[in-house]
């Protein structure tokens, strides 16, 4: 069975899908051992969580946990242990993402509360010190959030309402060279970089409900990636650039799907009656996500590329 | 009771002397007393009001009607929002794609799509929603509207049925409602008196069920009140506090209820959610609102007649340092999509199923509504602001006909296109189903408000 990273083109994808189905059928016919993909539960506290993100070396995980009215960023090791808060701040902080060198994180902060929407993007060291602004409202009541760091470390993309509609912007990590990337009356949300830094994937409702779109940074060329009757959101690009995972409500239940950037038919990789959301790729090509499949909300990692398609 | 003209004088067993005589006369015509009693029993059964209890899910902060129960997919993108409508099991009725479990249960509930009232201030709108009137309401600026604060809907039920020192008639799950740091009016007994204030319970994921009333006993916790001696000490302490309190009568009633909840094993079991199967607790959702809905069902089963479940105590979302209300002027879609939508979908669906499975839905009215809706036009912060001119709510059970939509809004959801409905109309209908008539209300010294929505019945 080929590893996911080798599935870089649509024809290879289709060949692999066909062979996978063949293996499944053959397995059923011969009574071969269960082919269920490996699923690992990382946390067990049950509190609601959002946006887990792996460090570039795969040794640590950052995620946001809701606990009562608290909303803070936590770091843990690859097994879900050795957990600690990123900061000791009292105000809400969320959606932290790693810098490519693993020394800093970009995150959204409720800097001055109560404020009705004045959320800003900062970077902070992994030790929780040296808070530096990336995108602030410049005195205007706006929200800047959902940062994502380019793999060369030169840019941070984020959303902002500073121009009276939620659009996507990029800026240098020190906040300079801020540029608006989208301009549409619709809602544009949750951008992420392609590994080569040439494109971003994001969610938009410009075609009706939320769909995934790809935008070429230099040309501004826009490509619609999904065409589903249900919501598609939270796209994340695989480390090798061959795949995009996202959350979808197309089956009337939140599931994690993957598709190629060439818009192949997306495949459901979670297939569970529970609520599965906020996918993120590990450096080794697995997907970590938030799920309530065991009753409360925890982080899980699922193997991808081994009998996870077509189930 | 048999009626002869307007005579209503009754014997101690409820029959007038004339009715006994009439019954005797009929027997001479071949109609036995047993036949007569059967006939009266049938009439009584017909007259029995279908609803016995109410669960009000109070969606504090104001959900957007355009993103829940009244989508406008043909409106421009700055109005319609990012979600698509989905078909429900009720023919022709569509709701938001983020409410798929409720879509499956549409035959069990009716939607109101033309609710409206007169204020877009949380405080005033909250008072209107909870009492049917704006009198005595306090706005965010602190302005208090003329008139006395009327009793909350639950307090009306308590007033009509009479205070029960053992089982509270009216329970509110959650703390006092606020907008900003200001408490709103209209959550309690109002002109009916503090005796009919709600008994408060709450739940949090880490500590389970909480009984704020027990905070009356300083320095005590439910866990510690296990031995008779500790209980005696605590109650003596409470008695001392009551003696020194300016609100002796009110404290005394709370004392009695607190005592009953502490000392009666049956009562203590009511709020022990550990007695529920884990699978059912998960079905409601392991989050505060879900477990509060489950506790509401247990309270109704135990005889509480009106349970109000507050979604939050503050209107603001957690990101805005509130406690998770629906007042998302910014980032509405982010919060609604990530948390509020599926929490409401899961918990309300589980509640409807659970009540139905236990045969309780026929006698329990479930209402899910906020104090207003939100602006049809999306603001510049990816949010929606306050909108009282048109909003939506859900009502189920207790004889309410499901699978239908009452009222309609215009093409952008800005104003009612047909049949404007006030919060007072909604609760006039609820009371009607409980057998609480205008006569009952005036007899109890209360002012009837609103008109029954006949299309719901």
Its ipTM equals 0.87
B269-292 confidence digits (pLDDT tens): 888 899 999 999 999 999 999 999
Please say if the pLDDT value at position A70 is more than 50: yes
A68 burial type by CB count under 10 A (0-12 exposed, 13-18 middle, 19+ buried):
middle
Please say if the pLDDT value at position B89 is more than 50: yes
Rounded to the nearest angstrom, the gap between the alpha carbon of residue A270 and the centroid of all alpha carbons in its chain is: 15
| pLDDT at position A113 | 54
Q: What is the average pLDDT score of chain B?
A: 84
A249 interface with B at CB cutoff 8 Å: yes
Please say if the pLDDT value at position B399 is more than 80: yes
Return d(Cα A234, Cα A245) in angstroms, integer. 8
Q: In this predicted model, which residue has the larger pLDDT, B106 or A5?
A: B106
| pLDDT at position B228 | 47
| pLDDT at position B240 | 62
| Set of chain B residues whose Cβ sits within 8 Å of the Cβ of A291 | none
B310-339 confidence digits (pLDDT tens): 999 999 888 777 788 999 999 999 999 999
Task: Count other Cβ atoms within 10 Å, centred on residue A214.
Answer: 21
| pLDDT at position A9 | 42
B6-15 confidence digits (pLDDT tens): 223 333 333 3
As given in the structure block, the two tokens for residue B220 are 């005590």
As given in the structure block, the two tokens for residue A204 are 């938009």
Residue of A166, A276, A296 to mutate, testing the B interface (most B Cβ within 10 Å of its Cβ)? A166
Q: Of B386, B295, B388, which is closest to residue B347 (Cα–Cα)?
A: B295
Q: Do A69 and B324 touch (CB under 8 A)?
A: yes
Please compute the mean of the pLDDT values over residues A196-206 and round it to a whole number. Answer: 97
Interface subset of A 223-242, CB within 8 angstroms of B:
229-231, 233
B154 half-sphere exposure, CB direction, 13 A CA radius = 33
Q: Do A67 and B206 touch (CB under 8 A)?
A: yes
Task: Return the H-helix or E-strand segment holding B333.
Answer: helix B332-335
Q: Which of A287-296, B151-160, B251-260 has the lowest mean pLDDT?
A: B251-260
pLDDT band for position B211 (cuts 50, 70, 90): confident
Q: Greatest CA separation found in chain A? A: 68
Task: Name the DSSP letter for residue B289.
Answer: H
| pLDDT at position A275 | 95
Task: Name the DSSP letter for residue B79.
Answer: H
pLDDT band for position A77 (cuts 50, 70, 90): very high
pLDDT band for position A39 (cuts 50, 70, 90): very high
Please compute the mean of the pLDDT values over residues A158-168 and round it to a whole number. Answer: 95
A176-197 confidence digits (pLDDT tens): 999 999 999 999 999 999 999 9
Chain B residue with CA closest to A72: the answer is B319
Domain residue limits, chain B: 1-48, 53-211+271-456, 212-269
| pLDDT at position B7 | 27
B286 phi and psi angles, rounded to 5 deg: -85, 60
Q: Do B381 and A143 touch (CB under 8 A)?
A: yes
pLDDT band for position A7 (cuts 50, 70, 90): very low
B53-211+271-456 belongs to CATH 1.20.1630: no
A253 interface with B at CB cutoff 8 Å: yes
A134-152 confidence digits (pLDDT tens): 998 777 788 999 999 999 9
B44 burial type by CB count under 10 A (0-12 exposed, 13-18 middle, 19+ buried):
exposed
| Set of chain B residues whose Cβ sits within 8 Å of the Cβ of A115 | 320
| Set of chain A residues whose Cβ sits within 8 Å of the Cβ of B98 | 231, 249
Return d(Cα A36, Cα A40) in angstroms, integer. 12
As given in the structure block, the two tokens for residue B57 are 């899910």
β-pairing, A287-291 with A132-135?
unpaired
> Minimal Cα–Cα distance from B15 to chain A, Å?
56
| Set of chain B residues whose Cβ sits within 8 Å of the Cβ of A166 | 381-382
Q: What is the 3-state secondary structure (H, E, C) of chain A?
A: CCCHHHCCCHHHHHHHHHHHHHHHHHHHHHCCCCCCCCEEECCCCCCCEEEEEECCCCCEEEEEEEECCEEEEEEEECCCCCCEECCCCCCCEEEEEECCCCCEEEEEEECCCCCCCCEEEEEEECCCCCCEEEECCCCCCCEEEEEEECCCCCCEEEEECCCCCCEEEEECCCCCCCEECCCCCCCEEEEEECCCCCEEEEEECCCCCCEEEEEECCCCCEEECCCCCCCEEEEEECCCCCCEEEEECCCCCCEEEEECCCCCCCEECCCCCCCEEEEEECCCCCEEEEECCCCCCEEEEECCCCCCCCC
A186 interface with B at CB cutoff 8 Å: yes
| Set of chain A residues whose Cβ sits within 8 Å of the Cβ of B282 | 295-296
Query: Of the candidates B77, B321, B338, which has its C-beta nearest A50's C-beta?
Result: B338
| pLDDT at position B270 | 85
pLDDT band for position B376 (cuts 50, 70, 90): very high
Query: Of the candidates B287, B321, B380, which has its C-beta nearest A164's C-beta?
Result: B380
As given in the structure block, the two tokens for residue A59 are 């040794």
Q: Which of A93-107, A164-178, A180-194, B199-213 has the lowest mean pLDDT?
A: B199-213
Q: Do B380 and A295 touch (CB under 8 A)?
A: no
Please compute the mean of the pLDDT values over residues A105-112 and round it to a whole number. Answer: 87
| Set of chain A residues whose Cβ sits within 8 Å of the Cβ of B207 | none
Return d(Cα B80, Cα B66) in angstroms, integer. 7
As given in the structure block, the two tokens for residue A175 are 């906040």
| pLDDT at position B256 | 65
| pLDDT at position B206 | 85
Q: Which of B195-209, B422-436, B441-455 has the lowest mean pLDDT?
A: B195-209
Residue of B98, B320, B385, B386 to mutate, testing the A interface (most A Cβ within 10 Å of its Cβ)? B320
Q: Of B78, B84, B319, which is closest to residue A146 (Cα–Cα)?
A: B319
Q: Do B81 and A205 touch (CB under 8 A)?
A: yes
pLDDT band for position B119 (cuts 50, 70, 90): very high
Instruction: Identify whether the C-beta of residue A213 lies closer than 8 Å to the C-beta of residue A168.
Output: no
Domains of chain A: 7-302 (2.120.10.30)
B25-83 confidence digits (pLDDT tens): 333 333 333 443 444 444 444 568 899 999 999 999 999 999 999 999 999 988 999 99
């Amino acid at each position: 069975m080929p590893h996911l990273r080798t599935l870089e083109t649509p024809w290879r994808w289709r060949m692999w899908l066909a062979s996978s189905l063949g293996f499944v059928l053959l397995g059923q016919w011969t009574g071969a051992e269960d082919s269920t993909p490996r699923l690992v539960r990382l946390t067990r506290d049950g509190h609601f969580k959002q946006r887990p993100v792996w460090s570039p070396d795969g040794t640590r995980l950052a995620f946001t946990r809701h606990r009562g009215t608290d909303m803070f960023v936590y770091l843990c090791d690859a097994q879900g242990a050795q957990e600690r808060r990123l900061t000791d701040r009292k105000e809400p902080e969320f959606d932290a993402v790693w810098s490519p060198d693993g020394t800093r994180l970009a995150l959204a902060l409720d800097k001055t509360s109560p404020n009705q929407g004045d959320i800003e993007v900062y970077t902070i060291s992994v030790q929780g010190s040296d808070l530096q602004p990336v995108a602030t409202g410049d005195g205007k009541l706006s929200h800047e959030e959902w940062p994502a760091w380019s793999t060369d470390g030169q840019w941070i993309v984020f959303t902002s309402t500073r121009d009276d509609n939620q659009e996507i912007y990029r800026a240098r990590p020190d906040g300079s060279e801020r540029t608006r990337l989208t301009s549409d009356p619709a809602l544009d949300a949750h951008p992420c970089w392609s590994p080569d830094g040439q494109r971003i994937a994001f969610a938009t409702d410009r075609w009706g409900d939320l769909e995934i779109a790809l935008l070429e940074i230099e040309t501004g060329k826009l490509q619609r990636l999904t065409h589903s009757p249900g919501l598609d959101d939270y796209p994340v690009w695989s480390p090798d650039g061959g795949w995009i995972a996202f959350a979808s409500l197309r089956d009337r239940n939140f599931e994690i799907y993957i598709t190629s950037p060439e818009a192949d038919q997306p495949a459901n990789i979670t297939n569970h009656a529970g609520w599965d959301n906020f996918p993120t790729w590990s450096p080794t090509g697995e997907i970590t996500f938030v799920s309530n499949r065991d009753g409360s909300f925890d982080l899980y990692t699922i193997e991808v590329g081994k009998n996870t398609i077509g189930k | 009771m048999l009626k002869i003209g307007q005579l209503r004088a009754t014997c101690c067993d409820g029959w007038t002397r004339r009715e006994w005589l009439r019954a005797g006369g009929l027997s001479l015509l071949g109609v036995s007393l047993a036949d007569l009693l059967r006939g009266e029993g049938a009439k009584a059964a017909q007259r029995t009001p279908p609803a016995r209890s109410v669960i009000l899910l109070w969606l504090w902060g104001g959900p957007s009607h355009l993103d829940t129960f009244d989508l406008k997919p043909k409106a421009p993108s700055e109005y319609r929002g990012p979600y698509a409508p989905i078909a429900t099991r009720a023919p022709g009725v569509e709701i938001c794609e983020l409410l798929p479990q409720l879509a499956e249960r549409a035959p069990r509930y009716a939607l109101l799509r033309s609710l409206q009232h007169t204020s877009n201030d949380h405080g005033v709108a909250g008072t209107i929603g909870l009492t049917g009137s704006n009198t005595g309401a306090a706005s965010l600026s602190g302005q208090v509207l003329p008139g006395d604060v009327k009793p909350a809907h639950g307090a009306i039920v308590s007033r009509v049925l009479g205070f029960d020192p053992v089982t509270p008639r009216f329970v509110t799950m959650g703390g006092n409602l606020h907008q900003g740091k200001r408490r709103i009016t209209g959550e309690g007994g109002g002109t009916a008196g503090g005796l009919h204030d709600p008994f408060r319970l709450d739940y949090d994921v880490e500590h389970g069920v909480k009984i704020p009333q027990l905070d009356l006993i300083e320095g005590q916790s439910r866990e510690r009140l296990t031995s008779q001696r500790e209980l005696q000490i605590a109650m003596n302490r409470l008695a001392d506090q009551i003696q020194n309190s300016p609100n002796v009568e009110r404290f005394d009633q709370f004392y009695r209820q607190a005592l009953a909840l502490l000392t009666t094993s049956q009562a203590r079991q009511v709020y022990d959610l550990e007695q529920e199967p884990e699978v059912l607790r998960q079905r409601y959702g392991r989050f505060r609102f879900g477990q509060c809905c489950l506790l509401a069902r247990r309270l109704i089963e135990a005889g509480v007649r009106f349970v109000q479940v507050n979604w939050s105590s503050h209107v603001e979302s957690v990101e805005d340092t509130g406690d998770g209300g629906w007042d998302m002027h910014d980032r509405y879609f982010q919060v609604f999509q990530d948390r509020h939508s599926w929490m409401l979908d899961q918990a309300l669906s589980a509640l409807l199923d659970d009540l139905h499975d236990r045969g309780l839905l026929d006698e329990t009215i479930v209402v899910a509504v906020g104090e207003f809706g939100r602006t049809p036009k999306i603001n510049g912060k990816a949010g929606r602001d306050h909108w009282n001119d048109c909003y939506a709510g859900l009502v189920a059970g207790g004889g309410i006909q499901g699978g239908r939509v009452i009222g309609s809004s215009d093409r952008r959801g800005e104003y009612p296109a047909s049949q404007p409905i006030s919060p007072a109309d909604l609760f006039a209908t609820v009371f009607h189903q409980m057998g609480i008539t205008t006569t009952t209300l005036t007899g109890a010294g209360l002012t009837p408000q609103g008109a029954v929505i006949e299309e719901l019945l």
